[in-house]
Amino acid sequence: MSSADRPATARPASGNGKARSGADGPQPRAAAKAQDDGPPRSIKPLDIAVPARVGRYVIGARIGSGTCGIVHQALDERLGREVAIKLSPVGEAQVSTGKVPGAQRAYQTEIVAAGRLAHPNIITVFDAGTVDDLNYLVMEVVEGRTLKEFGKGKALLPVHRALSAIADCCLALDYSHARGILHRDIKPANIMVSSDGTVKLLDFGIAVGLDGDAGLDRRGPTLGTPNYMSPEQILGRELTSQSDLYSLSTVLFELLTGRQLFKAKKVKDLFRIVVHQPAPRLDAVRTELPAELADVLERGLAKDPDVRFSSGKEFADALQPFIERFRIVEERPAAQRRFIRSLQSQAFFVDFSDVEIAQLLELVKVRSFRSGEALLSPDSGERRLLVLTDGIARVVENGDLLGVVGEGDSVGEAGFINGMPEHRRVVAMTTVNALEIRANALSELPPKVHLHYYRNISDRLAKRLSKDGHLSIDLQL
């Protein structure tokens, strides 16, 4: 249904629960001065006397509140379904509380947006109207939590889920922008993730039009939530779709780092920082995240709108490969994730990320060998590489002991790389567990990951042949 100021469902799960649509709770907003001739008149929507019913809707418990209205659960008696209804006072569009646009303006804006937008990742408005001195908007109920619960100072979402939520928002904004509507208030509290994982973009109360055909003014007062406003929004310039994409990028930064992009004690100082100070690199804050993902976010946070992504779809497409990369690790059972972490401490995998290891594990077989059993035999003709994950084996050639291999060592590189005959015999001295990689397995990896493994194996072979005095293989890539 709505955004919230805490983990919430559109149905109140506890007495202190909050959920709302088109209401922002106590967060500060920047605003221009009221445009009317006289002093601004205060609207206090929280003082609304809520009736027992509004038309065919029986009003239930309050589940959200904000400066522009309050949200109650309700029953649609005609259709027999539970809905959420937002109530705000009837007023004049130009009247403002001094912090946000007047409730009447927000109500009218949301009606226009609702009439033009029907997308699975945008909250659905079923009905709207006026009864006595109240405006009402009737919306779908979505049980879930807003992204505010996973950002600043909170437990972080798994990376692939954070990226996936933002990618869904990208597509919702792409749809909205194509219909001439700029949201202007993208922030964690206006993005809800339902219990089934569906992402919903909320609150078009301060939207403006991107063209003259949207039914909305192209320009409005300089409004938004300071921490998420684009530089051009702060400066009061005419906005493009890239402004929403900048705001969405600030949300992504917060979801991935647990901290807001910029902070300051005073709003005017915050605005100066947003306009002039470069955004920190993602991989400088979380060094384990790939530089390529940091590059994507850096583009989204560019001060110049022309440098940012040209559309929500282009932004979503840039995120998609990383969603798949991280999903392969983060959706594994805890025991498998621990196994991946243990491999990262072993010599063969020390330069590989958890994602690269997880990708390889999709293609290998785990083999166990008893004491005395051969891992590799001379002239077997098999093109396979074995990486020992635990246990000890001896390496013998022509009856002579060449050495002992153990956890993190590999055997079989020559045959794996180019089919050279294996002169050594490798025999387990204890129970040995090893990952068996067949010669064609690496070709199924993404090209960069394939090359990384191939170079690693080639380097290990070169070192062994050099040590043995048999360096005769061309390893140029």
Catalytic residues: 185
**Interatomic CA distance for residues 442 and 136, integer angstroms:** 59
For 189, the token pair is 């509290």
How long, in residues, is the chain? 477
Closest CA to 158 of 352, 355, 339: 355
Q: What is the dihedral of CA 105, 111, 117, 120, to 10 degrees?
A: 100
**Interatomic CA distance for residues 168 and 145, integer angstroms:** 16
**Interatomic CA distance for residues 162 and 42, integer angstroms:** 39
Sign of CA dihedral 10, 12, 13, 19: positive
Angle at 315 between CA 309 and CA 316, to 5 degrees: 165
User: What are the contacts of 127-135 at 24+ separation with CB within 8 A?
Assistant: 129/55, 130/90, 131/51, 131/54, 131/55, 132/51, 133/89, 133/90, 134/48, 134/51, 134/54, 134/87, 134/88, 134/89, 134/90, 135/69, 135/87, 135/88, 135/89, 135/90, 135/103, 135/104, 135/107
**Phi, psi (degrees; rounded to nearest 5) at 4:** -150, 165
Angle at 181 between CA 175 and CA 186, to 5 degrees: 85
Closest CA to 193 of 227, 224, 153, 163: 163
